[in-house]
Amino acid sequence: MAIVSKSSNFIKYGRPTLAWLIGLLFFFPIFWMVLTSFKTDADAVKPEYLIWFNPTLDNYLNMTENYDYWRFAKNSVITAVFATTFTLFVSIPSAYAMAFYPSRSTKNILMWMLSTKMLPAAAVLYPMIYLSKGLGLYDTKILIVTVVSLINLPIAIWMLFTYFKEIPIDIIEAGKMDGVDTFGEIKEILIPLAWGGIASTALLIFIFCWNEAYWTVRLTTIDAATLSKLIEGNRAPEGLFFGRLSAVSTAAVGPIVVLGWFCQKQLVKGLTFGAVK
Amino acid sequence: MRSNRKVEMGQIVLKNVTKSFENLEVIPPLNLTIDDGEFAEFVGQSGCGNSTLLRMIAGLEEVTSGEIEINGEEVSEVPPSKRGLAMVFQSYALYPHMSVRKNIAFPLRMEGIGQSEIDTKVEGAAKSLNLTDYLDRKPAALSGGQRQRVAIGRAIVRNPTAFLFDEPLSNLDAALRVGMRLEISEMHKRMKTTMIYVTHDQVEAMTMADKIIVLQSGVIEQVGSPLELYNMPKNLFVAGFIGSPKMNLFTGKEAEKQGAKTLGIRPEHIDIVFSGGLWKGKVGVTEHLGSDTFIHVHETGLSKVVTVRASGEVNLNYGDEISLKPRSDLFHKFDTKGIRLE
């Protein structure tokens, strides 16, 4: 009896406490970043102002007035929206073909696509820079959108492939018998049925595109530079501008956190959607 | 083509059709004609190739070689959507994201028919299938039988050249199965459209079909009406497959006496007599079905236990000694290769 009540006590109090502790641990850096963004650069490094300080909006005002935050933000939005759209445009038909019409090499192609993610990005850094400069595409939006979509394509195809696999092939075949062509199958049956899965894939890819830093920092200077570049640009070697850096970072992650928050329901829905047999 | 579909004939002809998966031949060259308006059933044990054959006719499976003709038109290269056939799947294959109304209307919408005509046709189909009250429900909120009716509704609104049924009743419970069996037969009599039906259940084949095609390993064992198959099975496989309970098949002395390698007699063609029967034995298990009694008779000296079908009133106890009198004019005789003699 004692053992039972002990374990149920753990379930009742211990587990939530543990979950909260872990949650707070993960959340703390973000909390600290947001807090620091309201401090002056001088206050940011002083331990006595860790929690209690005079909040100021200077960093944010400074950012929008002197660092052209909105241009970087606009580029981030353009990059993420177009790259996500392009990725879905290619990955939905690809995953559809692989899920419903597998050939002998489908598995190998899937593995090969995944293997490209194992390649260190740095290994192709110089070819990429030379190639983009040679083609006159360096620091253009089209280059960034293409590169960002291509690096996310394998993940998108893998995710969608898994979702599509759960749809009984009979339903697709019923569509064929009902007079639907390939495009119709995707539009009328596949997309509505896998809507939750497609939405979660799109959201994840959008987040990846938004957060992409390696290539956006290295392949842009001004015209196509995204928020990652702005953060990078505020990284002073002396380490004295913590306030400013925190404000820029907060403004960069803010939109995506809000998006994730709003799409929570869609994400959960996507994971629990089941087809009727 | 669509405008004059109503006057089209629904004859389906398979000419030297074969199917191989990689190097495995699942259907050796096969020839078959299904006439317009006929109710044809492919029967056989699971894996006999009957579903593959149906899917080839539907266009869901490519033909390795040979030709498939629908209304005299060669369709092997025509996509399923253009063959004018409707299919009912074992799993119902309803669109889970659409209401019953939208499910039934879907093929019409794809055909580009006007909304008012769609509404009329959907209402009509729903009425004939008792689905009117469920039109706005999603498939998930329906019972198995209702789902299957929606699948049938989706097929009939299109007014297809032929209906293809891929084991449509196997997911239903026994009582519903009998009801749906009747409904489909009724539908065929009313519509007089060609129907091809795949089943593993020989009762479904016997009760519904005009023509039964018995398949084994992709080979047609026999084609004929239910009674032809019952009365004159061409070989041992058909003899053993058609009929419930199964035909008694004996080898050995008793068969040789009749000039055959294997001797067959249906359980209903054996009478129980008090004396003077051909075989004597002891009563084993008796199964009372009410209308009939199946008696399993042991120790007859035959190569197998004999099953006898007697009337429901028969009252025999385990171990009783009985005498069996088969109707010798109804013996089925097979040679060493299992082919029917005579």
Write out residues 20-59 of B within 8 Å (CB-CB) of A. 58-59
Q: Return the amino acid letter for B167.
A: E
**CB-based contact, A178 to chain B, within 8 Å:** yes
Low-confidence ranges of chain B (pLDDT < 50): 1-8
Bridge partners (DSSP) of residue B220 are: B215
- Residue A191, token pair as written in the block: 């997309």
- Is the Cβ pair A174, B89 closer than 8 Å? yes
Test mutation, B1, B97, B103, B118, chain A, max A CBs within 10 A = B97
**CB-based contact, A223 to chain B, within 8 Å:** no
The predicted pLDDT at position B242 comes to 92
Min Cα–Cα distance to chain B from A200, Å: 18
- Is the Cβ pair B60, A171 closer than 8 Å? no
The predicted pLDDT at position B66 comes to 94
pLDDT digits (tens, 9 = 90+) for A197-234: 898 889 889 989 998 989 999 999 888 899 888 888 87
- Is the Cβ pair B96, A179 closer than 8 Å? no
Percent helix, strand, coil in chain A, to 5, is 75, 0, 25
Task: For residue A178, give the nearest of B60, B110, B140 by CB distance.
Answer: B110
- Is the Cβ pair A179, B110 closer than 8 Å? yes
Indicate the SS3 state at residue B213: strand
Domain ranges, ordered by start, for chain B: 5-237, 246-334
The predicted pLDDT at position B212 comes to 96
Min Cα–Cα distance to chain A from B284, Å: 43
The predicted pLDDT at position B11 comes to 92
Min Cα–Cα distance to chain B from A276, Å: 6
Task: For residue B85, give the nearest of A171, A174, A177 by CB distance.
Answer: A177
- Residue B191, token pair as written in the block: 């519509």
How does strand B262-265 pair with strand B248-251? Answer: antiparallel
Q: What angle do CA B171, B142, B132 make, to 5 degrees?
A: 120
Indicate the SS3 state at residue A95: helix
**CB-based contact, B154 to chain A, within 8 Å:** yes
**CB-based contact, A180 to chain B, within 8 Å:** yes
Indicate the SS3 state at residue B282: strand
H/E run at residue B188: helix B174-191
Q: What angle do CA B300, B302, B304 make, to 5 degrees?
A: 100
The predicted pLDDT at position B7 comes to 38
As a whole number of angstroms, the distance between CA B247 and CA A275 comes to 43
Test mutation, B78, B92, B95, chain A, max A CBs within 10 A = B95
CATH class of domain segment(s) B5-237: alpha beta
Q: Rounded mean pLDDT of chain B? A: 91
- Is the Cβ pair A193, B96 closer than 8 Å? yes
Domain ranges, ordered by start, for chain A: 2-36, 68-272
Q: Which residues of B touch A176 (CB under 8 A)?
A: 59-60, 79-81
Residues 6+ apart with CB under 8 A from A118: none
For domain A68-272, the CATH superfamily is: MetI-like (1.10.3720.10)
**CB-based contact, A136 to chain B, within 8 Å:** no
Q: Which residues of A touch B111 (CB under 8 A)?
A: 179
Q: Which residues of B touch A184 (CB under 8 A)?
A: 110
Min Cα–Cα distance to chain B from A173, Å: 7
**CB-based contact, B139 to chain A, within 8 Å:** yes
Q: Which residues of A touch B110 (CB under 8 A)?
A: 178-180, 184, 188
Test mutation, A167, A170, A177, chain B, max B CBs within 10 A = A177
B125 near B187, Cβ under 8 Å?
A: no
Give the chain A residue nearest B86 (alpha carbons).
Answer: A177
| CATH code for the structural domain at B246-334 | 2.40.50.140
Task: For residue A170, give the nearest of B89, B107, B110 by CB distance.
Answer: B89
- Is the Cβ pair B94, A181 closer than 8 Å? no
Give the chain A residue nearest B94 (alpha carbons).
Answer: A171
Low-confidence ranges of chain A (pLDDT < 50): 1-2, 273-277
pLDDT digits (tens, 9 = 90+) for A153-162: 999 999 899 8
Task: For residue B80, give the nearest of A176, A195, A275 by CB distance.
Answer: A176
Residues 6+ apart with CB under 8 A from A100: A164, A169, A172
Q: Which residues of A touch B86 (CB under 8 A)?
A: 177-178
